[in-house]
Amino acid sequence: MSQTWDVDLIVPASTSPVTDIVRLVDAHNTLRSNWSGTVEPAAADRVAYMWWADTTTGLLKIRNAANTAWVTVGTLATENLGLLGMWEQLSKSIAYTTVLLDRGKHILHPTADNNARTFTIDSNANVPYPIGTEIMFVNQINVVTIAITTDTMTLNPAGTTGSRTLAANGNATALKVSTTGWIISGFGLT
């Protein structure tokens, strides 16, 4: 159940008993809903580490420690189990540029597409993935170039930067380690 966003969780003493009860019920339902709704909670209701299920964008967010911003932690889609350590598969037979909802997923280049492909991790300016984001790439046939736009992708352990080639039957994981920095490692990756 979504909350009534204009309800302050602090019930003023000057209201009537009926109003107090209605507001307490609304506040209780708000807490039970784990803050779900189309708009963020009012500034007076925000606290550090509170959750908000943003039903407009389909994203699950948590308030940062300083209580100054929302941090996206995942999607609300029932099929996305990335938060549980399971990887949802996205099969791509085209050149592809990653989006925010690719967090915690693996992008597959399937055997049915015997063409060289390029999968690009978009820049932080376009897609501000949270630090700690992981995206896995799996290539079943031909080669896949894993490219980066304006950010930096460093090959682990070599330390070289730039686009990488993923051989057939290879897999690689890109980990965001700073605002514009990624480390990539894997098998069949050069």
Which residue ranges form the domains of the chain, and what is each CATH number? Answer: 17-75 (no CATH), 85-189 (2.60.120.640)
Q: What is the arithmetic mean of pLDDT over 28-50? A: 77
**Tokens 């055997």 belong to which residue?**
111
Greatest distance between any 2 Cα atoms in the chain? 72
Examine the pLDDT at 3 and tell me if it is beyond 70: no
Place of tokens 């803050």: 35
Q: Residue 12: its pLDDT value, please? A: 58
Mean local confidence (pLDDT), 122-146: 94
pLDDT of residue 93: 95
**CB of 9 closer than 8 Å to CB of 30:** yes
pLDDT at residue 101, as a whole number: 86
Q: Judge residue 158's burial from the number of C-beta atoms within 10 Å of its C-beta, 0-12 exposed, 13-18 middle, 19 or more buried.
A: exposed
Task: Tell me the CA distances in angstroms from 160 to 98, 153, 164, 185, one per residue in order.
Answer: 22, 8, 10, 11
| pLDDT of res. 11 | 52
Mean pLDDT, residues 161-187: 96
> Hey, what amino acid is at 50?
M
- pLDDT for 71 equals 83
Q: Give mean pLDDT, residues 139-156.
A: 96
How many CB atoms lie under 10 A from the CB of residue 172?
Answer: 24
Q: What pLDDT shows up at residue 160?
A: 95
> What is the distance in angstroms between the CA of the first residue and the CA of the last residue of the chain?
49
Q: Please give the structure tokens belonging to residue 189.
A: 């990756």
65, two tokens: 């420690």
| Ramachandran area for residue 153 (φ above 0: left; ψ -120 to 50: alpha; else beta) | beta
**DSSP structure class, residue 112:** T
